[in-house]
Chains A and B, each alone.
Chain A
Amino acid sequence: MDNFLDTCVIVASFDTAESHHKVAREFIKESDNFLIAKYQKDPEIIWLFKRKKRIVISVLRSMTNEKIDVLGSYDLKKELRRLLQKYSLENPTLKNLKSLLLILNYLEREVRNFVNTKVKKIIPNCEDRKLIKSLEIANIPDAKIIASALVEHQDNPLILNTLDKKDWEKKKIKRACYRNDLVIPRINYI
């Protein structure tokens, strides 16, 4: 059976500070036949790194007394502050942030390399709004990805692999399958 991957599994396998890093890394190393949705390859992964880099650049610019919000329309610096508070992290130094920016480039390559070389199929995006809506998931990108996997599962049996118990809630996915007369896939929380 093919393994459908939520983006968070791929990212966690490269994020050494993530609590599920080891298990995600092992899973990706030992399994094969990976599938993802087109939406994940483009734009989700592209935007993920673009956005994170913009946040870091914005903070770096504000720290070096340059204008902030280089390439964004809103205050990204505030966003990083919020994150720092949330995780009770002390303020990063310029060196930390520059190194972070460089590492984001390395990590982006690793993720893209994984998608280009280890993912055997990119499945089409689900355009069925009714199905997407019936998932009742507030996170629309996640709803689109799950819906794409459900459609694929009808012809090509899949296991849906994720770390996200909140958005990829079994109950909701099952309910949407009943409502839309779809075969229910196995959901694996790694």
Chain B
Amino acid sequence: MKKVGAHKRIRRTPEEIREAILEVLIEGPKTIDEIVIETKSHFPVTKDFIGKLTIEGEIIESRSEKNQKIYLRKDYPVFYRIPISKIQRDKTLAILRAIVEEYRIQHGEESKFPFKTVIQKIAVDYIEENDPSLPVMNFKFGKICCLAYDENIHSIYNFTNNLSREEMEKIKESVNKFIGKNATQAKIFQYKQKGMRFYELKEEILDLFFNAKEKSEELSKNLIEWSIHYPDELESTYHLFDTFIYCATNILRLKKLDDEKIKQLKELFDGLWNILSIDYFFESASRFIQPEKKSLFEEIQKETILQELFNMEMVLGDLKTEVDMIPSKDFKEIDMDNKTAKLLHLLLED
């Protein structure tokens, strides 16, 4: 087997070595062995420079994959720094750039940079209809691409990918759908599409929280509706979701619903949404990860979600205990018609 770093090495100045390391990392996250091979440097020299670049903040030391550290550039543009192939990144960036250019032409405001949310929504619309092999993930505010685009990206990230005339035409069609929409309108437009009811309901629930005292019944119904639309992919966070729904629907049944409790529920709702959206991001991203990068991806996923999960489990667990201990007399009577009572009975009896 060929030893790492046993290839023909090039004599270089320290500055050249630094540049070479940064250059190979443009491709994406890499282990030290991969960097040594691709920069054709000695292992100890490479390790030394990687250490310096890490201290300077130029590169980031990431999670270990099979006991190896992973390094990536600080400007690696992918959300959560998950490993997405250069081909996919470049193509996505080319689409995003074309969208910005087309949006400006269509919008008639040459100098104005469109809202980032709007660009993302247009890109998702285009990708899902024309290029479904490119990564699209579910996140906090709906579906997004794997990276964000801003005007300075050219200075830090080099990408070349020219779109065909046909692709440009399709981009124009997607841009047209979003012309005149601000970030919220673009988001809602996406939520109205098939398979996005979970997001739409989340918005409705959020609105109802501002009026929870007066609309406690409606809020409970929406929470139940929300659980019907819970995505299949999020099985690992379902226990948190279920506990939240359990606590919230019961608290909303209290005879005296005080502001403090509503505030607590709203905060938990935000916290829960944060975890669900992170989980959703990784679950939806997983199918776009190359097999050789899967274990790195899973490590990033685990590390990102684990602490959040632990904290939420603690808080929700405490709230559940609190809800369970409230005397039954403090709750409104359970009101159900005969048919529902019969259904309940047959479910419980079996």
Contacts and interface: CB of A to CB of B under 8 A. Distances in A.
Most chain A CB within 10 A, of B242, B323, B344, is at B344
A71 B238 contact: yes
B346 A100 contact: no
B228 A57 contact: yes
Contact of A102 (B224, B324, B331): B224
Interface residues of B, number: 40
Contacts of A104: 344, 347
A116 interface: yes
Interface in B329-344: 331, 334, 336-344
A146 B77 CA distance: 61
The size class of the interface chain A forms with chain B is 35 or more
A25 interface: no
A99 B340 contact: yes
Contact of B246 (A16, A83, A87, A109): A109
A18 B347 CA distance: 11
B343 A107 contact: no
8 contacts: A15-B348, A16-B341, A98-B221, A101-B227, A109-B323, A113-B324, A117-B325, A117-B327
Given A92-B339, A102-B249, A106-B253, A83 B347 contact: yes
Contacts of A102: 220-221, 224, 249
A66 B229 contact: yes
Contacts of A96: 339-340, 343
Given A66-B229, A110-B328, 15 more contacts: A16-B336, A66-B228, A70-B232, A80-B347, A83-B346, A83-B347, A89-B343, A96-B339, A97-B343, A98-B221, A98-B228, A101-B228, A105-B245, A109-B250, A117-B325
A183 interface: no
A10 B327 CA distance: 17
Given A17-B341, A60-B228, A105-B246, A113 B346 contact: no
A80 B348 CA distance: 12
A103 B246 contact: no
Interface of B: 220-221, 224-225, 227-230, 232, 235, 238, 242, 245-246, 249-250, 253, 323-328, 331, 334, 336-350
State the majority secondary structure of interface residues on B: helix
B350 A18 contact: no
A112 interface: yes
A55 interface: yes
A83 to B, nearest CB: 5
A56 B339 CA distance: 15
Interface of A: 11, 15-18, 48, 50, 52-53, 55-57, 60-61, 64, 66-67, 70-71, 80, 83-84, 86-87, 89, 92, 96-110, 112-113, 116-117
Contacts of B224: 98, 101-102
B232 A103 contact: no
A122 to B, nearest CB: 14
A18 B345 contact: yes
State the majority secondary structure of interface residues on A: helix
A67 B339 CA distance: 26
B345 A116 contact: no
Nearest to A60: B228
Most chain B CB within 10 A, of A67, A106, A116, is at A106
Given A71-B238, A109-B250, A117-B325, A103 B344 contact: yes
List the 4 closest pairs (A to B, CB-CB), nearest first: A17-B345, A17-B341, A112-B324, A105-B249
A86 B348 CA distance: 14
Contacts of B246: 105, 108-109
Contacts of B225: 98
Nearest to B245: A105
